[in-house]
Chain A
């Protein structure tokens, strides 16, 4: 239970140590980004701005409509994420060869700053649909998708790998077809992790929705009708009242989606728990209870039954979910070799041409420049982590150790975590402009607005997982004050805190792209840092710089994950798991 309450769930962050193959994968992602970029550039067709307004109306009566359009984008992205998860996760878990390539890529993708992608994807999608707003829609949905899909896919993949052996054997002996096995065993046994990670990633998705609805790429400003661009436009007009209005609508929407969609789904997914013991505290949902009492599920189910049967029958052609016990070793080895060589050649050629592109345009020195800027942003991330830890860990422990407080506080923190921090940026920007404080300092606060909640959220989960008999024993022996923190509380929350720290740090790097470069009214505030570097390159359409910036930021994130976080994570698992 306590494990599940962390976000992301623990196994999502299980990482191998830094290996030489990471270099290859890094090069592959570099090449992939470059490929996307090329695609976008070659496809660039004349774009008629008439189809995509650069700002939208801030008439409050439009707001509900905008909100619904934004919501639709979120759910389309969620649907795509689920589909992607099923295909990618299954391929990685079931095919030995695919696993070797897919999992390292996913691992890196999870650490690549999504917002840096935006410029590339916007360009590419607009080029694909040159005469309609569809390209922008796709780019926005894609940005949300990238914020949701990786966690869910990792969760699904790990569930497949850790499937109880005897269930796998039972399925094979019953000779289930591939299709039957997928829906009867694979998906249900992964459901709990999938729903939990889906819910939390969905929350994170609002941030990217907001960032992607209104964007300036290559000196063009685009605005999609939606609540995110409403805030952006109101901010450009220095109209804080309307920003406040949008915040209200946003809160209502987050709460409603939680109540009507996620809570019922979480409660429903409990039936897929494999451990035969009941969870100590069953998640409940009024919505689900109502649905269960009604006839709606049965009414919907009946006409679908023939479809299910038909699909079961039609998919028989894919064969049963079993593999020959004795594969042909020679052929397999040969296949492996060919596969490896082809992949390696592709990666090397791609990375070389990407490198060549950077050298021709801005020169390789740009990397050094970007690394220096990255160090500045890293400093901000560090300060942010220390500050949020000092503030939120005591609060989180206080909440987590009191069951009554925790019951109310955890859902609230969850909503706070899903509330897009960029809605608050206009206020801080106005404040910074009024007081003259530099964004170099203020940027830290902006980055923290979203990232801090993961520390609080996971600290609460960690504190809740400290067994009450341990606490009673400490009371009994009179262990209190700093000694109690050192001996009980810090070790107790450590595993959850590490998970929160990794997520918060990742979120902060991502947020730096919009937090180090802020516009409000006619003012543009710029901080020194890698985030601002990427943001400026996006506005100016300097694709080589964007590519350089993203690659360098990914190197920072992946490097820190592997070198620092992984050690803490292993320590947490080995020594401090309760």
Chain B
């Protein structure tokens, strides 16, 4: 359990009260990103928000920080609704967000300057924060001169110097290399256990499952499109936590299981044949999928996902789209936290290139909604040609402009590989690939 004993331990600092956030698609339709999220951040705890990309976890963090407004529901700080940037929150950013034209000391002092703290006090407090975070000697350096790990230390010092009630971290370690990240995490935990650590609660957004299990007292797993709280786990492993302990590994497996499991769609009945906007294509290339399946075959067709991620030094955001894609095309199945090669998958891996393409084409046409609808639409035209604008318009009903484009890019990649259709980047036209081995004779 957290080794911190605070006088007000357990009192709520921040709360999400039925927060829903929807952005507007270019067509003017609302695009839900967060759906009815409620939880509390209490004094003395570390809470982790974990989810795939598209789960809106960063959006949720920004709602609570008062950087963006929820569409409905409220962010509460000490019981009061947050209307402007939350004064009780300091944030550590993935990209560090340091001002490159200020020295380390000036960067750290900036927040105090904004609070009109007198110059001498400002200097004292900043030097103390710099000391605490292990940056002494670097006061007059510019961020450019520092390594990534040292830059993020400046980020921490800058956040902690204002003694925020809550420290927010937006994937703070994901831009760092593995060793540096591990080092910084360990130090952060060591500081957290000290009585003079100048913050009372921490909220971290991450897509790294092990990181979440390592750091958090409570862990919220968010589902994707839109983000909902899928599971809440209380982690009471003693600190420091041992990554190799069976209890730790069991928890990691459990979270993997939650993340790869079928996402519950409680209200809406799943349509008989889901459309392109119901089931987005996972962001995976054909090459990536093939690579994953081959590795799986080399492991006798079955492998534990955390081990797989570890072996490939992949994080969830890298691995899960590939897993989702191969599962969508029925080349693999997920059982608990194990990925298993299907019979089709075995054929796909072992067949020659033409046969693989045929198989891929069939599966994509059958199970990837966007690929299917492109193929069908092209068949419905006389000359087998349609402009991409047609599909972008359809996709805009369910995606933002960028995401719609991204979805189409994936579908083009898949369709090209399967020789289902071709795309001309100059004219933006999609054309049926008449050279495809299994295209039936056109008939209208």
A-to-B contact residues, CB < 8 Å: 164, 166-167, 169-170, 172-177, 180, 184-185, 188, 191, 271-274, 276, 278, 309, 312-313, 316, 320, 322-326, 575
Min CB gap B75→A, angstroms: 9
- The answer to whether residues A166 and B87 also contact, given A174-B162, A175-B115 and a CB cut-off of 8 A, is no
Is the beta-carbon distance between A175 and B85 smaller than 8 angstroms?
yes
Residues of chain B lying within 8 A (CB to CB) of residue A166: 93-95, 97
Min CB gap A159→B, angstroms: 14
State A177–B113 Cα separation when bound (angstroms): 9
- The answer to whether residues A188 and B67 also contact, given A169-B91, A173-B91, A316-B116 and a CB cut-off of 8 A, is no
Residues of chain A lying within 8 A (CB to CB) of residue B67: 169, 172-173
In terms of DSSP, what is the predominant structure of the interface of chain A? helix
Is the beta-carbon distance between B100 and A271 smaller than 8 angstroms?
yes
- The answer to whether residues A273 and B65 also contact, given A180-B113, A325-B82 and a CB cut-off of 8 A, is no
Is the beta-carbon distance between A272 and B69 smaller than 8 angstroms?
no
Residues of chain B lying within 8 A (CB to CB) of residue A322: 84-85
Interface status of B420 (Cβ within 8 A of chain A) = no
Is the beta-carbon distance between A173 and B86 smaller than 8 angstroms?
yes
Task: Please name 25 pairs of A and B residues whose Cβ atoms are closer than 8 Å in the assembled complex, sorted by A.
Answer: A164-B95, A166-B97, A169-B65, A169-B67, A172-B84, A173-B90, A174-B90, A174-B110, A174-B114, A175-B111, A175-B114, A176-B114, A177-B114, A180-B114, A184-B99, A184-B110, A185-B99, A188-B101, A272-B100, A273-B100, A274-B100, A276-B151, A320-B114, A324-B84, A575-B425
State A167–B62 Cα separation when bound (angstroms): 14
State A323–B68 Cα separation when bound (angstroms): 10
- Kindly report which residue of chain A lies nearest to residue B168, judged by CB atoms: A173
State A185–B247 Cα separation when bound (angstroms): 47
- Kindly report which residue of chain A lies nearest to residue B82, judged by CB atoms: A325
State A169–B111 Cα separation when bound (angstroms): 13
Residues of chain B lying within 8 A (CB to CB) of residue A575: 425-426
Q: Mark B17-56, 1 if CB is under 8 A from A, else 0.
A: 0000000000000000000000000000000000000000
Which single member of A276, A309, A323, A326 contacts B100 (CB below 8 Å)?
Answer: A276
Interface status of B441 (Cβ within 8 A of chain A) = no
B-to-A contact residues, CB < 8 Å: 62, 65-69, 82-87, 89-91, 93-95, 97, 99-102, 110-111, 113-116, 119, 142-144, 151, 162, 425-426
- The answer to whether residues A271 and B142 also contact, given A166-B95, A276-B100 and a CB cut-off of 8 A, is yes
State A43–B84 Cα separation when bound (angstroms): 50
State A179–B384 Cα separation when bound (angstroms): 59
Is the beta-carbon distance between A184 and B102 smaller than 8 angstroms?
yes
Residues of chain A lying within 8 A (CB to CB) of residue B114: 174-177, 180, 320
Residues of chain B lying within 8 A (CB to CB) of residue A309: 119
Q: How many A-B residue pairs have CB under 8 A?
A: 83
Residues of chain A lying within 8 A (CB to CB) of residue B102: 184
In terms of DSSP, what is the predominant structure of the interface of chain B? loop
Min CB gap A407→B, angstroms: 24
- The answer to whether residues A188 and B99 also contact, given A173-B85, A174-B114, A324-B84 and a CB cut-off of 8 A, is yes
Min CB gap B20→A, angstroms: 14
Residues of chain B lying within 8 A (CB to CB) of residue A191: 101
- The answer to whether residues A175 and B83 also contact, given A276-B143, A276-B144, A312-B113 and a CB cut-off of 8 A, is no
Residues of chain B lying within 8 A (CB to CB) of residue A164: 95, 97
Residues of chain A lying within 8 A (CB to CB) of residue B86: 173
State A230–B281 Cα separation when bound (angstroms): 71
State A167–B158 Cα separation when bound (angstroms): 13
Residues of chain B lying within 8 A (CB to CB) of residue A325: 66, 68-69, 82-84
State A172–B83 Cα separation when bound (angstroms): 13
Is the beta-carbon distance between A324 and B83 smaller than 8 angstroms?
yes
7 tightest A-B CB contacts, nearest first: A325-B69, A166-B97, A174-B111, A172-B85, A170-B97, A176-B114, A166-B93
Min CB gap B395→A, angstroms: 20
Residues of chain A lying within 8 A (CB to CB) of residue B90: 173-174
State A175–B69 Cα separation when bound (angstroms): 17
State A274–B82 Cα separation when bound (angstroms): 31
Residues of chain B lying within 8 A (CB to CB) of residue A180: 110, 113-114
Residues of chain A lying within 8 A (CB to CB) of residue B113: 180, 312
- Kindly report which residue of chain B lies nearest to residue A312, judged by CB atoms: B113
Residues of chain A lying within 8 A (CB to CB) of residue B95: 164, 166
Residues of chain B lying within 8 A (CB to CB) of residue A324: 83-84
State A271–B87 Cα separation when bound (angstroms): 31
Is the beta-carbon distance between B91 and A170 smaller than 8 angstroms?
yes
Residues of chain A lying within 8 A (CB to CB) of residue B151: 276
Residues of chain B lying within 8 A (CB to CB) of residue A176: 110, 114
* Further contacts, 8 of them, CB under 8 A, given A166-B94, A170-B97, A272-B101: A166-B95, A169-B91, A169-B93, A173-B91, A180-B110, A272-B100, A325-B82, A326-B69
Residues of chain A lying within 8 A (CB to CB) of residue B69: 325-326
- Kindly report which residue of chain A lies nearest to residue B110, judged by CB atoms: A174
State A314–B146 Cα separation when bound (angstroms): 35
Residues of chain A lying within 8 A (CB to CB) of residue B119: 309
Q: Which of A164, A173, A313 has the most CB of B within 10 A?
A: A173
